Structure 1
């Protein structure tokens, strides 16, 4: 049994809580910008003093509405400044935030708000308000609904600020004083890749321990008054919430983007010093740059530059480092290619933080090779996001880094990753039995499979529940192959199948952004979509992606056949969670005929 731990670098104060971060920032850094708000002209900074004032004004309105310590308040919105404002205001009255994805269906809204017993909800738009109103009869405890940008009504911030104008500071301070480090801060409903989502209860201690140790370990990336991060991940997800709190704890400047359609422009105008995202974001940046180079007749130059970047990064991990010839070629491509790629990411960032899935070793080396190191981490909702991450000055590409300071990682006898630390959840809301099943002697059983190397770096190899057993008895972990296949520019999503079957196969969907470009390059852009998807040239290109995935496994585990599906796996279709994870049981059910066809063909 392997085990590795690091001593804590941040101690949670005995009276610590999340609203206390704002008071501390206003005292130590009153005039430092801690947020930037989107405006028509760009970005407007909000100082620590100003943010504390706005949070307390909204919190007083919540008190006047009767929101009491310990009560749950829903928050349904895209990523925007007001989300952070309301999150801290809810915490300031001692209440508990229940995030709801802004894409949630009425059924999902009912489950989150009813199961948590929410007495109020803040929504972003009139459409969100209508969704809640349509199911209000199923929510007997819901007494208040506020809308951030209502059509024809008063916005929530102004309405609550006005309502709380006569609430004394002492009354709000008394509500905040009910908090302890072990008070619940949020109930986050897990994505629910199987069955009903469970409400994961995270305390103020969990956030403070997690974020405090992250900031301490990644100190050079969290420089107050200098560093900044642009948040475009959904704040209903624990990863983005962790970044929100870590930015306040440091503190550094945080910007919000709710629509990623113009992300490149937003990065260029905000110019963050840290970029964070999920692997699909970094794959898209790479694939978009490569496609543009091809369209401009510079595809070969880009591909050569990419190979040099990867080779240069790999050589950094050797005792002798990159040889002279490689360093010279790298210098040339830095002028021709790399600096333009860094500019597309804002031009100031030297590091990114990636989580949610595996980035892939090749892309990890590519980004470090262009001077933009992507630090992969690993965590779950139950671990308050990261429980392991790569050190900023000693990343080990292909791993998810070492355990968070103050936490421990153990590999059980069957390869399952177990975690222990202050950052763990305390229980599942209304499901105490489920929490007991997930814990063994204080260790949380993650359900992931992995290994630790001699220096404590963790590698995730798959999900325990997703292991396929073929008819021949071969155990297959699909995640490694799927991650590699998704890195191909044509592939949007893929799912490896083969449970109880004679061999391993895959269902594949294509990226609609790159399919037309590929078709035009091949002179096939006049073909109807159905004919294009069955064209031998396209199938050969998809086979390249499959070959990339197969290179990571033995022949017995490799994908022998694949099927290109006509549509997409999306959240709207019910095949992806809001955090873009595959709902395997739903895909298996909905595409049973396609799976059968893979094997009937022999």
Structure 2
């Protein structure tokens, strides 16, 4: 077995029940053998859906593997993979896995410096990318990473004869691989059988909220355990129609679009691009659909805007049937069953409002809709359940393949995330931390013994999340344990708990709650430009930019109202007394949030320290000099007047 960058122990000792031949590649070959003509992949290209069967999928994977091997890529080599969802990038990922090489995905919008850091940390010498944009990013840092010898791209537009040295098309490598398979009769079976269940299938990464992202290696056995546990809980079904639109660098995409898709023979549908994803969703009509709370909220906003612009009769029907359905859903959560008349009227509503809306959103066939990543707003959660979707929450991290705990159809709650899947154990330790154990739990971080020792204790994963079990035995997630803070008077608070509740409001895209060692809590708010812009337009409120809109008195009052609603729902000592609307959104390119939009508090505290001090000095506004970077790379300064809102009348 090649050098294992995770643990000095042989993984066979850690997982004695795993079968060596139980791999993603072997399962892909099984699908090709047993269901050669069933559709495995669909990809929309220039408006036309192109289909790939399981037999064709396996052929492409093995041809790419043969081509990669001819390029010198082999066991243990870590290869960067970056770009938007593309069928060939999935095939290339599996081709690397077949060689026992390790794909290391990066977010498609990662900056060149981020890619350079990842390649340097992991000793990366080759990259598989989507298009010219990604090639250009790598080329811009290549002088600092001369070890990057090969760049293989899927989309040749803009490249062709202009491709830099060492860069070539995946299609050319595919052709060479096919020729190799034809010339070497035993190679195909050899490639299918090389991987072991103990091999690392993918090297994913933590969000990096407090420093450099940590590498999270997941073995074949980990991801297959996670998928099988989820299937045993009814979370996945065989033959699902799935839409692959989540970032390929996110654990959920690997678990859904590759591992679960192969194990359970999903048909994976790849949209043409991110801009057409909502349109493509309606054509796909998936049976399984995951979206973040932020995405569900945006979908609700889109519906509300559409209803506001529709005809009078449709609006009247909507205004009657939606409140009725929401009332029924609340009664269900309280344990009350609908009457026969309510069921009949619900059926009428499904015919005239709920069903057509689900169809318009592309969700008419979704039987298993899910949300995770952060808390979802009560109004958003109830709305989609009232619409007839069995929306459920789940809980997981990259370290457990994102598949650990979920609500069942019978255990719907607004405050919990459900129960552990079969094969997963959960407990709360003396400090209030959630601990998990199971075959889906990773073995340790990439070449980071210290972080591994902190996260794994006696086989238990220390999630870093504070939690508790409710009276019914369901898990309640309170927030990050590391983010438990105290005000100057010793009052304990978890910023993420308050932030997530504030982000339920359509007007608020991001928020950072401040208050550690302070006399009261405050907030830096980033408005949702789209939602607030629509709101302002309906009221005839003029604006020319995000910065101007955020400081309009009406918008400051709008945000004040949202914070007041939060304050009414939490203990008085956790109320937010003052706030400021920032002149811009938090930006991952500025290092303020991660690519998954988790706050980097240290960066925010340092960058906006002047604003924070003004909030605590009881000032009404601040003249803030904002650093800006132009497209040319040159920097400048713009002075912004930021209004500071107060909810306590200045009494602190």
The alignment status of 1:283 with 2:306, answered yes or no, reads no
Listed one character per residue, the Cα deviations across residues 238-268 of structure 1 (whole Å, up to 9, x for unaligned) are: 1111111111110111112374333331111
**SS at 1:598 equivalent:** helix
Q: Tell whether the 8 Å contact from 1:516 to 1:525 is kept in structure 2 after alignment.
A: no
The alignment status of 1:188 with 2:229, answered yes or no, reads no
Which of residues 154, 163, 172 is equivalent to 2:176? Answer: 163
Aligned to 1:489: 506
2:215, 2:251 → 1: CA distance? 12
**SS at 1:408 equivalent:** strand
Decide which moves more: 180-189 or 500-509.
180-189
Aligned to 1:249: 263
Larger relative contact order (C-alpha < 8 A, sep ≥ 6)? 1
Offset of residue 499 of structure 1: 0.8
The alignment status of 1:377 with 2:370, answered yes or no, reads no
Q: Tell whether the 8 Å contact from 1:505 to 1:562 is kept in structure 2 after alignment.
A: yes
1:330, 1:564 → 2: CA distance? 42
Offset of residue 49 of structure 1: 0.9
Offset of residue 296 of structure 1: 3.8
Which of residues 58, 62, 66 is equivalent to 1:56? Answer: 62
Aligned to 1:270: 284
Offset of residue 16 of structure 1: 1.0
Aligned to 1:66: 72
2:317, 2:373 → 1: CA distance? 32
Offset of residue 448 of structure 1: 0.6
Aligned to 1:358: 375
Aligned to 2:237: 222
Offset of residue 315 of structure 1: 2.0
| Pairing of 1:482-561 with structure 2 (within 5 A) | 482-525=499-542, 532-561=549-578
1:472, 1:23 → 2: CA distance? 62
Change beyond 3 A, Cα 1:397–1:27: farther
| Pairing of 1:114-133 with structure 2 (within 5 A) | 114-133=120-139
1:17, 1:530 → 2: CA distance? 52
Q: Tell whether the 8 Å contact from 2:98 to 2:194 is kept in structure 1 after alignment.
A: no
1:431, 1:332 → 2: CA distance? 59
Listed one character per residue, the Cα deviations across residues 33-79 of structure 1 (whole Å, up to 9, x for unaligned) are: 11111122432221111111111111110111121112111101111
Aligned to 1:153: 160
The alignment status of 1:111 with 2:125, answered yes or no, reads no
Listed one character per residue, the Cα deviations across residues 495-518 of structure 1 (whole Å, up to 9, x for unaligned) are: 111111111111111111122211
Q: Tell whether the 8 Å contact from 2:292 to 2:371 is kept in structure 1 after alignment.
A: yes
Which of residues 207, 220, 226 is equivalent to 1:204? Answer: 220
Aligned residues: 589
Q: Tell whether the 8 Å contact from 2:127 to 2:152 is kept in structure 1 after alignment.
A: yes
1:595, 1:490 → 2: CA distance? 21
Q: Tell whether the 8 Å contact from 2:455 to 2:461 is kept in structure 1 after alignment.
A: yes
Larger Rg computed on CA atoms: 2
Aligned to 1:470: 487
Decide which moves more: 138-147 or 184-193.
138-147
* TM-score, reference length from structure 1: 0.92
Aligned to 2:99: 93
Listed one character per residue, the Cα deviations across residues 543-573 of structure 1 (whole Å, up to 9, x for unaligned) are: 2321343344211111122111111112223
| Pairing of 1:343-492 with structure 2 (within 5 A) | 343-346=359-362, 347-392=364-409, 394-492=411-509
Aligned to 2:89: 83
Listed one character per residue, the Cα deviations across residues 320-344 of structure 1 (whole Å, up to 9, x for unaligned) are: 4124565465445434432232113
2:360, 2:115 → 1: CA distance? 37
Offset of residue 189 of structure 1: 2.0
Q: Tell whether the 8 Å contact from 1:205 to 1:422 is kept in structure 2 after alignment.
A: yes
Listed one character per residue, the Cα deviations across residues 113-170 of structure 1 (whole Å, up to 9, x for unaligned) are: 1211223111111221122122223335433211111333286332112222124253
Change beyond 3 A, Cα 1:323–1:437: same
**SS at 1:159 equivalent:** helix
Offset of residue 376 of structure 1: 1.2
1:173, 1:141 → 2: CA distance? 32
2:320, 2:496 → 1: CA distance? 29
1:102, 1:329 → 2: CA distance? 47
Q: Tell whether the 8 Å contact from 2:325 to 2:346 is kept in structure 1 after alignment.
A: yes
Aligned to 1:580: 597
Q: Tell whether the 8 Å contact from 1:43 to 1:270 is kept in structure 2 after alignment.
A: no
Change beyond 3 A, Cα 1:32–1:393: farther
**SS at 1:373 equivalent:** coil
Q: Tell whether the 8 Å contact from 1:69 to 1:178 is kept in structure 2 after alignment.
A: no
Offset of residue 539 of structure 1: 2.3
Q: Tell whether the 8 Å contact from 1:69 to 1:175 is kept in structure 2 after alignment.
A: no
Offset of residue 22 of structure 1: 0.6
**SS at 2:152 equivalent:** strand
* Runs of 5+ unmatched residues, structure 2: 1-16, 162-167, 619-649
* Runs of 5+ unmatched residues, structure 1: 1-10
Q: Tell whether the 8 Å contact from 2:287 to 2:366 is kept in structure 1 after alignment.
A: yes
Q: Tell whether the 8 Å contact from 1:112 to 1:189 is kept in structure 2 after alignment.
A: no
Offset of residue 453 of structure 1: 2.9
